[in-house]
């Protein structure tokens, strides 16, 4: 066992354990932390594969933005985000479908491993010094991949505007029946109204 193999094993165990925690967790917060463990493990794999720039992007975008967004939404939903016991539907069909997908994917991987064992022996070649560095990735990003790079900025801005358009309320008042209370009602004894941003906070203003 070299030190590289030990590192690979640790990252692989982090990935698999995090993914299993995400799938199994009853509490979605634990699921988000499992996702975080998977993402950090994959960032470690990227370092092992000489993709330093992608490892940094992975940690910044996934661990820093996506997981935090998940945790925000979980906090917003509160206790309503918890798993509820499944009702009348049997889980047998779902588990069978899941095992079918796993069998197909693992068989494909087995075939791929066989093919690469024969063709190139799958052994990683030695590398030049700047493989995976910010300089070499950026050079390709701004020359060959310039059009998709610019289009991805458009995708991000459209998705953010779309997210705001979908998530905003329009502030419609709807009467709630007692058996239809949200967690805001349970915790605060009534609906939580957003403060009017045009009004300055004064002593007698209610939040």
Residues 118 to 177 in contact with other proteins, rule: CB under 8 A? 120-125, 127-128, 131-132, 136-137, 140-141, 144-145, 148-149, 152, 155-156, 159-160, 162-164, 166-167, 169
Min dist CB 8 to other proteins, Å, is: 3
Q: Is 58 in the site for other proteins (CB under 8 A)?
A: yes
Q: Which helix (H) or strand (E) holds 32?
A: helix 28-48
Binding mask 86-115 for other proteins (x = CB under 8 A): xx-x-x--xx-xxx-xx--xx-xx--xx--
Return the number of the residue (48 or 205) whose C-beta is nearest other proteins. Answer: 48
- How many residues of this chain interact with other proteins, rule: CB under 8 A? 97
DSSP 160-201: HHHHHHHH----------GGG--HHHHHHSS--PPPPTTSPP
Q: Is 63 in the site for other proteins (CB under 8 A)?
A: no
Return the number of the residue (65 or 195) whose C-beta is nearest other proteins. Answer: 65
Q: Are 28 and 74 in contact (CB under 8 A)?
A: yes
**CA–CA dist 182, 76 (Å, integer):** 11
Dihedral of CA atoms 164, 29, 14, 108 in degrees, nearest 10, equals -60
């Amino acid at each position: 066992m070299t030190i590289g193999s030990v590192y690979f094993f640790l990252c692989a165990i982090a990935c698999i354990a995090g993914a299993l925690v995400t799938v199994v967790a009853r509490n979605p917060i634990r699921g988000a932390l499992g996702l975080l463990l998977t993402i950090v493990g994959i960032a470690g794999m990227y370092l092992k594969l000489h993709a330093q720039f992608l490892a940094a992007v992975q940690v910044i975008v996934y661990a820093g933005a996506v997981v935090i967004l998940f945790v925000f939404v979980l906090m917003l939903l509160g206790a309503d985000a918890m798993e509820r016991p499944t009702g009348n539907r049997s889980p047998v069909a779902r588990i069978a479908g899941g095992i079918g997908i796993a069998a197909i994917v693992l068989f494909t991987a087995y075939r791929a491993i066989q093919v690469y064992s024969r063709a190139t022996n799958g052994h990683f070649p030695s590398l030049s010094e700047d493989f995976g560095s910010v300089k070499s990735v950026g050079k390709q990003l701004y020359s060959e991949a310039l059009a998709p790079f610019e289009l991805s900025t458009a995708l991000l801005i459209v998705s953010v505007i779309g997210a705001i358009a979908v998530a905003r309320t329009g502030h419609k008042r709807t009467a709630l029946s007692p058996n239809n209370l949200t967690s805001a009602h349970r915790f605060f004894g009534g609906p939580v109204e957003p403060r009017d941003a045009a009004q300055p906070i004064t002593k007698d203003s209610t939040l």
